[in-house]
Amino acid sequence: MAASLDGLRVAFLVAPEGVEQVELTEPWRAVGEAGGQAELVSVSSGPVQAFNHLDKADTFTVDRTVDQVGSANYDGLVLPGGVANPDALRRYPEAVRFVGGFFSAQKPVAAICHAPWMLIEADVVRGRNVTSYPSLATDLRNAGANWADEQVVVDSGLVTSRTPDDLNAFCAKLVEEVAEGKHRAQARSAHREEAETG
């Protein structure tokens, strides 16, 4: 029996421009088909410009901005990729705090392709098992993650995948992890550095 997200809300965090469209629309569809409510969150209101690789694709309307909501408003977080998308987002401290809040609250987070750059910026990958677009492997290892070249990697509520080719596995696992609810290891990840230095 497929996991149900009835009554659950999932945030999709993207920059105003540069998100890879299929990495937004396919997980969004999966959340909806499982009965969940998806909301588009960004650093500013208005339309978001998606891309198919380097070509402009559709625009999507932002539901909430990061200064209006936090992890308490959602049951999970999806970070779509695209090279420009996470590279832009990580320059906004409020977006980085938004991501970190899900780890502190022990809530599931799913990141695909280049999106794990946001996980590095939020300092939540130390000691975690992850994957990503291959060019991020060194960045993730340098941030303390255990990187693997696999279709999808799940580590106690953290779901990561490499490319759009992995979307079927990514979507299935993100729905499963959000349906399971909180994962205590997420909070340990967010506070590991404090514990080690405290």
* CA within 13 Å, CB half, 38: 24
Please answer whether residues 152 and 166 qualify as being in contact, where contact means their C-beta atoms are separated by less than 8 angstroms: yes
Return d(Cα 186, Cα 192) in angstroms, integer: 10
Catalytic one among 114, 171, 183, 191? 114
Query: Tens digits of per-residue pLDDT, 45-65?
Result: 989 999 998 899 999 999 999
CB atoms within 10 A of CB 99: 26
Residue scoring higher pLDDT (22 or 188): 22
Return d(Cα 120, Cα 113) in angstroms, integer: 13
Please answer whether residues 113 and 161 qualify as being in contact, where contact means their C-beta atoms are separated by less than 8 angstroms: yes
pLDDT band at 198 (very low <50, low <70, confident <90, very high): very low
- CA 137 from chain center: how many Å? 17
Collapse the DSSP code of 87 into the 3-class scheme (helix H, G, I; strand E, B; otherwise coil) and give the result: helix
Q: Any idea what DSSP says for residue 147? A: E
Q: Is residue 171 among the annotated active site residues?
A: no
Query: Tens digits of per-residue pLDDT, 87-136?
Result: 999 999 999 999 999 999 999 999 999 999 999 999 999 999 999 999 99
Query: Does the pLDDT at position 193 exceed 60?
Result: no
Collapse the DSSP code of 51 into the 3-class scheme (helix H, G, I; strand E, B; otherwise coil) and give the result: strand
Q: Where are the alpha helices (DSSP H) in the chain?
A: 21-33, 84-89, 93-104, 116-121, 137-142, 167-180, 184-197
Please answer whether residues 94 and 66 qualify as being in contact, where contact means their C-beta atoms are separated by less than 8 angstroms: yes
Q: Is residue 113 among the annotated active site residues?
A: yes
Catalytic one among 53, 113, 171, 183? 113
Domains and CATH numbers, the chain: 9-193 (3.40.50.880)
pTM for the model stands at 0.94
Beta-strand pair 17-20/9-13: unpaired
Please answer whether residues 132 and 114 qualify as being in contact, where contact means their C-beta atoms are separated by less than 8 angstroms: yes
